[in-house]
Amino acid sequence: MDARRRRLRRAGAAHRDRELLKTKLLQDARCLLELLLEQNEPALALKEFETSLGEARNRLRGFYGAAKAAEKAGDRRKAAAFYEKILTLTKNADSDRPEIKQAKAFLAAR
C-alpha cells in the first residue's frame, strides 16, 4: 500500500507541475502578445491571440486581448464578436472589471 501511495503522490505532483508550467507559459505568451499591441502591431497580435484562444479556450484575458487587437487593427466586426464573448463568459460576474466595462462600452457605441 505504501508503494501505491508514493506512486499516486508522485503522479499528483507531476500533474500539478504540468499545470503550473502550462499556466506560466500562457501568462508569458499573453505578455508577448500585449507587447505586440504596444509596438503597434495589432494585426499580428490579433492573429496570435486567435491562435492562443484555440489552445486555451474561454480565457477572459485572451478574449480581451483579441478584442483590443481587432479594434486597433480596424476590424470592428471581430472586436465586437470578442467583446460579446467576454460578456457571455462573464454574465454572472462582477461587472466592475475593466474588461467588462470596455466590452459594454464598445458594444453600446456600435
Contact 65, 53 (CB under 8 A): no
Q: Considering the entire predicted model, what is its pTM?
A: 0.73
What's the burial of 101, exposed, middle or buried (CB within 10 Å: 0-12/13-18/19+)?
exposed
25 has a pLDDT exceeding 80: no
pLDDT attached to residue 86:
96
Q: Is the pLDDT of residue 75 over 90?
A: yes
First to last CA, the chain: 64
Domain boundaries, the chain: 2-108
Could you tell me the pLDDT band of residue 96, with boundaries at 50, 70 and 90?
A: confident
Q: Which CATH class is domain 2-108?
A: mainly alpha
